[in-house]
Amino acid sequence: MYEYLETADPALVAAGKLKRVAVDPVSRVEGHGKVTLLLDEDNKVQQARLHIVEFRGFEKFIQGRPYWELPVMVQRLCGICPVSHHLAAAKAIDQLVGVDPANLPPAADKLRRLLHFGQVLQSHALHFFHLSSPDLLFGFESEIGKRSIVSVLADYPDIGLQGVKLRKYGQEVIRMVSGKRIHGTGAIPGGMNKALSQAERDYLKQDIAQIVVWAQAALQLVTKVHTSHLPYYDNFATIRSKYLSLTKPNGALELYHGGIRVKDEQGETLVDHYDYCDYPALIREEVRSWTYMKFPYLTALGKADGWYRVGPLARVNNCDFIDTPLAEAARVEFKLHGGEAMVHSTLAFHWTRMIELLHCAESIEILLDDPDLLSSDLVTKGEKRHEGIGVIEAPRGTLFHHYQIDENDIVTKANLIVSTTSNNTAMNESVRQVAAEYLSGRELTEPLLNNLEVAIRAYDPCLSCATHAVGKMPLQLELVDAEGKLVDKLIRHSNGEFIHGSE
């Protein structure tokens, strides 16, 4: 709807009539990105872009390494959701040793789920309390000194402390299962390397009831914030989109393993229970010259219409129900709020994130009573295969890991479609919406520009996770003499084609 703002009229750019405003870096997100605006003489926005300017390259440098290193190496992509990468890679390498999800020992399956509930719990708490609550509690255009967790702790000490402790509990779940709060080891090909000891299980059990209560409080808080600022919260940065997520076979919300479901803007199901191992037929990625992050789209619908959103909003919108009672009650209330089949409000990402936070807390409480967590039957093996695909619902959305290996167990090919990448078009569209609806024609001030960041933050982007392609970025090299005159030029297009020559 706001695509016209992706690229300004080249004639205006060439005439030097546009002024440039940059938000660099975008703050309170993971990784490094910037927003640029091009404004005309009347401060009307002519172009708005979210650029991801860092480059990670994991897809390239894991090639040539043995496959069993993958879960431990690729989790270093991120310090916020390493477990999700760890487990997506683990699911892929399970297949390399001939183990499909259904054949994983129940203890290993449940330990991985527990690990992942801990991950989503801590990541959602981090995002809501540490990164976004300053905007939500103090207002989007509050003064810059206010907009941090430090001010939240000063003005709302109970809320701030609960956030810190919720996150800590998620980290402790991760530590008990994988040995460290960040970047542990746990999943190995075909299973897990350790069970929980009784002492570790009891340690986690002693606080879980309190965690469920705090998660409810967090959900109440976000619900109150959202519903007391209507229709502003429903409209801000809001775009109508398709949604992609995993669901259980019975249609329930799922974070660890399920089939792909896609629903369109009206809530019609386009794809359901789709085997994620066939994802290359479902999704393609487009490269654009002005950012290192790719633009995935549904192949059948094409580049223009095939983009979609992933993450908490997609998952809660897509699922038929949530299989824990408190979160399910919250989901029902949430869906009624929108008044139509799908809730498109971008700020509702926060609301659904807290519904999932509660779901994680409830699920951990249930899992901790499962004796399988203490079982020593942790690993299974099958026939070696040369290709493995693992897909998981990371905190920020559907995460794809795809590897091929040779006869010597060495990785020859890797493809990662990271959650944030799937939201690339949507984040840009939300940035353009805010630029067009809230900024265009006004004198820009720092608090006003924070609106752009609020829009991006709703998606909880992890920019450092999301930039991996090597050799596919278009590249332009210019040789300029001392007078600034172009002497020579070399362009490499995204298809690898070189064009050489001075103008």
Partner 1 sequence: MSGTLCIDGIAVPFSDGQTIIEAARSAGVYIPYLCHRPGYAPYGSCKLCTVKVNGRTNTACTLPAADGQTVISNSPDLQHDRQRITQMLFVEGNHFCPSCEKSGNCQLQAVAYHQNMLDNHYPHFYAQRELDASHPDILIDHDRCIFCNLCVRASKEKDGKEVFGIAGRGIHKRLIVNSPSGKLKDSDISVDDEAAHVCPTGAILVKRSAYLAPIGERIYDHHPISEVACEKAVLDTQAAKGHASCDQAQLAGQVPQNSGSDSHYAASMPPAPDIKHGR
Residues that bind partner 1 (CB under 8 A): 64-66, 68-69, 71-73, 76, 175, 178-180, 183-186, 188-189, 193-194, 197, 199-200, 408-410
Please state the residue numbers annotated as binding site for Ni(2+): 78, 81, 462
Token pair of 70 as six digits: 């993958």
Q: How far is the CB of 406 from partner 1 (least distance, A)?
A: 8
Report the residue number, 72 or 87, with the smaller CB distance to partner 1.
72
Report the residue number, 48 or 96, with the smaller CB distance to partner 1.
96
Report the residue number, 66 or 441, with the smaller CB distance to partner 1.
66
Please state the residue numbers annotated as binding site for Fe cation: 465
Cα 244 from Cα 262, distance rounded (Å): 5
Cα 70 from Cα 56, distance rounded (Å): 16
Report the residue number, 89 or 417, with the smaller CB distance to partner 1.
89
The Cα-based distances of 379 to 88, 200, 341 in angstroms read: 17, 20, 42
Please state the residue numbers annotated as binding site: 59, 78, 81, 416, 462, 465, 468
Q: How far is the CB of 445 from partner 1 (least distance, A)?
A: 42
Token pair of 308 as six digits: 């979609």
Q: How far is the CB of 370 from partner 1 (least distance, A)?
A: 20
Which residues lie below 8 Å from residue 177, measured CB to CB, with a gap of 6+?
111, 114, 115, 118, 184, 186, 192, 196
Report the residue number, 83 or 314, with the smaller CB distance to partner 1.
83
Please state the residue numbers annotated as binding site for Mg(2+): 59, 416, 468
Amino acid of residue 38: L
Cα 356 from Cα 252, distance rounded (Å): 12
CA angle 186, 187, 192 (to 5 degrees): 85
Cα 70 from Cα 160, distance rounded (Å): 36
Report the residue number, 198 or 250, with the smaller CB distance to partner 1.
198
Report the residue number, 70 or 458, with the smaller CB distance to partner 1.
70
Q: How far is the CB of 409 from partner 1 (least distance, A)?
A: 6
Q: How far is the CB of 3 from partner 1 (least distance, A)?
A: 40
Beta pairing partners, 188 = 191
Q: How far is the CB of 473 from partner 1 (least distance, A)?
A: 23
Cα 284 from Cα 301, distance rounded (Å): 11
3-state class (DSSP) for residue 37: strand
Cα 232 from Cα 224, distance rounded (Å): 13
3-state class (DSSP) for residue 488: strand
End-to-end CA distance of the chain: 36
Query: Strand 45-52 and strand 33-39: pairing?
Result: antiparallel
Q: How far is the CB of 84 from partner 1 (least distance, A)?
A: 17
